Amino acid sequence: MPPAPQPTVVAPRHSLVVRITHWLTVIAFFALLISGLEIVISHPRFYWGETGNVMTKPLFTLPIPSSRDTVPTAYKFVMPDQNGWSRYLHFQAAWLVLLTGAVYFVVSLWNRHFLRDLWPPAGQRNLQAYTRVITSYLRGRHRSIDDASSYNVLQRTAYLVVIFVLFPLMIWTGLAMSPAFVSVAPWSSAVLGGKQSARTLHFAVTFALTFFVFLHIVMVTLAGFWRRMRAMTTGLPASPVHEERP
Amino acid sequence: MKTITRRRLITTGLAATAGIAGVTEAARLAKRYGLAPPDCGGIYGPGETLTYAASRIFGAHAMAREFPRSMISEKPFANETPPLSDDFHQQQAVGFKDWTLTVDGLVSHPTKFSIADLKTLGRSSQITEVSCEEGWSYVAEWIGTPLAAVLREVQPAPQARFAAYFSVQRELWGSIDIAEATHPQTQLTWAMNDGDLPVGFGGPLRIRVPRQLGYKSLKYIDRITVTDSMKRFGKGLGSVDPEYGYSWYAGI
């Protein structure tokens, strides 16, 4: 008997919905990040409470030049105004990520993706499970815990925080700056401490999300960049991990 | 790996066709029901249409947040405007007594109002926030005549869809839809924080659109034209702002 051939039907590492929504989110994220930074440049001062402007004391100021000559900065020049297209792009990308997120959320509830792939399995919802993964990463043994077919508890936690905490917070703090949205839902701004608090939090969450994306790319690179890119694009499962082990 | 079966190909094809047809149909419906903003062309059209349509559907009658008197900003910030003309300064020297607001277009009774005329039409006050698209904001009390009261006086035609407004600085003009124009908080403002409206803040007459960002609340208003289409104004994008790359609808 010849050895059994490679099975031809293997579940993809990532479902079609996950792959499509992942890349749409990537596009939206970078569009939002770039346009958001451009908008910040027009007023790189942050406040707490309802109101804040150049006549009031900022909570903190970014040490960057501004695209408005009305904003005092440590620089003698004014950057070009990029807010027009940045604002158009920011809200269009926000719609893209919101609708993409809605599809992902509904489908993931429906097909139990959250429960199956992201919620830490029983027995791993404890500190030891986390320390075990962290220790392995720190000892450079990430490949030994890098089971290609499922996420470890640290990855699951990171993804859950991004999906259920940071993403909703980002949308919320963004909408809490909109005069039209706040007209419909005044509480959205009030419970955050006011419009300027919402803006400052929006900026803070940007940092958190950008940090996640940075770490995510580092980890993907350590795990084998092209292999992971292929898995997230075509859904083809990675070639057996054992091949790459010395 | 999954093979490309005929069934998969057909389902994907049908889904894609349905998606494209759905988007096209949505765009057609948005235009038909007045949910597409005048600057809905171009690559940012879908986002703008979604934002404007959502605001019309979910927030047509919502009221801008009002604040207690204690939250009025001690030092409001007057954003810069282009230099004002000699004619403006002459009017300022005589206390703007000859300032007139012309209201024309698709109305039964085109009228010129002095500021004294406006004051007899009605008075409203609101403690609302000015939010600049740049990110800063302040709260002030705004006192003036509701634009709705002025429109009642001139009687817009049934097909009226927009109120276009013009600053004496002719390069600055804008428009809002009729729903926003007749909203109870949309105001022709002539006083601020219990004093006359300072020139820096748009005196003697500005428009306040508190449910949209500051750049819709144009200063030094002397003309309002009611119209059924913004196509004939400037480049037809609804206001001068899209001509500089800024969106016509500024609720966010």
Q: Is B251 helix (H, G, I), strand (E, B) or coil?
A: coil
Query: Position A227: which residue type?
Result: R
Highest mean pLDDT among A117-126, B23-32, B125-134: B125-134
CB B218 within 8 A of CB B174: yes
Q: Tell me whether strands B100-105 and B221-227 are parallel, antiparallel or unpaired.
A: parallel
Q: Tell me what pLDDT residue A143 has.
A: 64
pLDDT value at residue A4: 57
Model pLDDT for residues B163-175, shown as the tens digit of each residue = 999 999 999 999 9
- Supply the pLDDT for residue A9: 57
Is there a contact between B76 and A55 if contact means CB atoms under 8 Å apart? yes
List, for chain A, all residue ranges whose pLDDT scores fall below the cut of 50.
Answer: 240-246
Radius of gyration of chain B (CA): 21
Which of A8, A52, A181 is opposite residue B1, by nearest beta carbon? A8
Residue B66 pLDDT level (bands cut at 50, 70, 90): very high
Six-digit token string for A12: 């993809």
pLDDT at A144: 58
Contacts of A12 in chain B (CB under 8 A): 1-2
Q: How is residue B99 annotated by DSSP?
A: -
ipTM: 0.92
Q: Give B-chain residues touching A181 at CB under 8 angstroms.
A: 59, 251-252
What mean pLDDT value characterizes chain B? 94
Residue A203, SS3 per DSSP: helix
Q: Is the pLDDT of residue B160 over 90?
A: yes
Confidence of residue B4 (pLDDT cuts 50, 70, 90): low
Would you kindly state where each structural domain of chain B is located, as residue ranges?
A: 1-62, 67-244
> What is the percent of chain B with per-residue pLDDT over 70, rounded to a whole number?
98
**Residue of A166 and B41 predicted with greater confidence:** A166
d(Cα A181, Cα B65) in Å, to the nearest integer? 10
pLDDT at residue A13, rounded to an integer: 82
What pLDDT score does B28 carry? 85
Interface of B with A (CB under 8 A): 1-3, 44, 46-48, 50-51, 55, 58-59, 62-65, 67, 71, 73, 75-77, 79-80, 129, 131-139, 210-213, 244-247, 251-252
pLDDT digits (tens, 9 = 90+) for B184-228: 999 999 999 989 999 999 999 999 999 999 999 999 999 999 999
Report the CATH architecture of B67-244: Alpha-Beta Complex (3.90)
Q: How many of the other CB atoms lie within 10 Å of CB of A41?
A: 23
At residue A142, the pLDDT reads 67
Cβ-Cβ contacts under 8 Å between A and B: the total is: 133
3-state SS assignment for residue B196: strand
Whole-model pTM: value is 0.91
pLDDT at B207: 98
For residue B117, pLDDT over 80 is answered with yes
Give residue-wise pLDDT tens across range A105-148: 999 999 999 999 999 998 888 999 999 888 888 887 766 555 55
| DSSP letter (8 states) at residue B171 | T
Sign of torsion over alpha carbons A189, A192, A195, A200: negative
* Predicted local confidence at residue B1, as pLDDT: 46
Nearest CA to CA, how far is A99 from chain B (Å)? Answer: 11
